[in-house]
Chains A and B, each alone.
Chain A
Amino acid sequence: MAGERGRRAGPREAARDPDRFEEFYRRHVEKITRFVARRVDDPHTAADLTADVFLAAIRSADSYRPERGEEEAWLFGIARNVVSAERRRAAREADSGSRLAGRRLLDSDDITRMEERIHAEDRARALLGSMAELPEGERQVLELVAVDQLGVTEAAAALSIRKVTARVRLHRARKALAAAARRGPAADEPPAGRGATGAGAARAAEGMRAGDAPVGISYARGQA
């Protein structure tokens, strides 16, 4: 790891210097927008949330600890929390129409583009939907690994949990989904209230990303 100065701007430097922030932002904006697009299907909300993620990153830059994981994992952790907060807000307010910010920066062409991006993530959203019945902790890990393509280490960092915990949760999630897939769509309510059914669930259990190439999400015991 070279000195922080000359090279890439980390979150802390980025939050203090607009030029360094630009560098940081350009490095991550594409991935964050896609992350958001996998979770919402409205371009305005996607724009708001993308803005919120970076805003929260600026405000919480001091919480970043390089030893706990890559900055991308840290940022995905923020993105996850922002999306969750939005869901809670939406559930409470059922569209109060009070949102501002990101969407104000969209023109009609941007909206079209954002919609295309959202469409491109349709299958990922379906896959995420198929995980809905998993227990929260397990679903979070599986989402980040199988859908967002983080490694287990990065997923653990994004969720602020230990790597070993992430591995275990991932294992449990895969097992639950595999069992649900074997039972088939008619199967009902396994013991601990877990289980998802359908092709998406089966695919997740097998460790495949929603789109194309199969991606193994198996993990190794052992350490690093």
Chain B
Amino acid sequence: MNADKTERFEDRLLAELKKEVALNAAEREAAAGPAPRRRLVTAPRVGFALAGGAAVAAGFIVLPGMAAPPAYAVEEKPDGSVQVSIKDLTLDRDEQRDLAADLRAAGVAVEIRNPEPGTRCASDLRVGSMTVLPGRSGGDGEFAVGRAYSPDSAVEAQEPRPPVGSRVPWAFAMDANDSMVIENFVPKEGAQHRTNFLVARGAPMACEEVPVER
């Protein structure tokens, strides 16, 4: 034991940490609750409180398992389908990219489109689409089966579409060869952007930018 000098540091460290564990256990017992976290500054732990404090108390460490609940979930089912659940429809661009990456990994083709302000993508008829309006993070929007934006369908799609606020999380199953298009469009210059989620069978059609009507 003496020959291994590194061991000595490790042993000293272990001794200090064991004191910390004992104090930790005493704290828990005293609190008699489910894992309260209180700070104790007592003589034996001052050294660690300072060192650990720099990292832990200042709140810079996000510990594994403490992440915020995910805005969406993608799950590959044994039958090859992919279950998608979007809990927060106002995904920012990074989250959209992550969602796209997850879906692609599950075999679903995904495109994120950002057409020029005042335009959006005309596309073919889709299985389903969801438009998230700005400022409605609760998930209000519109969902229509078999509808997507195109100059033609805009004319015929006059029937009221049900709000989906109560449908969040928006959950649906896709086949591995389905596709999703996430379209961030700005109806007119200076307006807030909206996000449109489109689900389609097969590969997504190319985006043809057309002026937003209405």
Residues A47 and B9 in contact in the complex (CB < 8 Å), given A64-B65, A77-B63, A102-B51? yes
Q: Which residues of A (1-58) have their CB < 8 Å from a CB of B?
A: 14-18, 21-22, 25-26, 29, 33, 47-48, 50-52, 54-56, 58
Given the known inter-chain contacts A18-B18, A18-B21, A63-B65, please indicate yes or no for A52 contacting B102, CB distance below 8 A.
no
A115 to B25, CA, bound (A): 35
A106 within 8 A of B: yes
A105 to chain B, nearest CB (A): 4
- Contact between chains at A74 and B9 (CB < 8 Å): no
A182 within 8 A of B: no
Residue tally, chain A, CB below 8 Å to B: 66
Q: Quote the shortest CB–CB distance from A88 to chain B (angstroms).
A: 6
Main SS at interface, chain B: helix
Q: Interface digits, B29-47 against A, CB 8 Å rule (1 contact, 0 not)? A: 0000001010000000001
Task: List B contacts of A187 (CB < 8 A).
Answer: none
A56 touching B51 in the complex, CB below 8 Å, given contacts A16-B21, A51-B13: no
For B20, what are the chain A residues with a Cβ–Cβ distance below 8 Å? 55, 58
Indicate if the CB atoms of B64 and A52 lie closer than 8 Å. Answer: no
Q: Is the CB of B66 within 8 A of A55?
A: no
Is A101 in contact with B48, judged by CB distance below 8 angstroms?
yes
* Interface set, chain A 48-79, CB cutoff 8 A to B: 48, 50-52, 54-56, 58-60, 62-65, 68, 73-74, 77-78
Would you call A58 and B24 a contact (CB within 8 A)?
yes
Asked if A16 meets B55 with Cβ closer than 8 Å, knowing A55-B17, A78-B63, the reply is no
Q: Among A122-130, A161-169, A194-202, A205-213, which stretch is in contact with chain B?
A: A161-169
Whether A100 contacts B14 by the Cβ 8 Å rule is no
Chain A residues at the B interface, C-beta cutoff of 8 Å: 14-18, 21-22, 25-26, 29, 33, 47-48, 50-52, 54-56, 58-60, 62-65, 68, 73-74, 77-78, 81-82, 84-86, 88-89, 98-102, 104-107, 109-110, 112-114, 117, 157-160, 162, 164-165, 167-169, 172, 221, 223
A56-B63, A78-B63 given; name 14 further pairs at CB < 8 Å.
A15-B21, A16-B28, A18-B25, A22-B14, A52-B55, A55-B20, A55-B48, A56-B55, A63-B63, A81-B60, A86-B54, A101-B48, A105-B16, A107-B5
B213 within 8 A of A: no
Question: A113 — which chain B residues lie within 8 A by C-beta?
Answer: 5-6, 9
Question: Residues of B contacting A21 with CB < 8 Å?
Answer: 17-18, 21
User: B25 is contacted by which of A16, A101, A106, A165 (Cβ under 8 Å)?
Assistant: A16
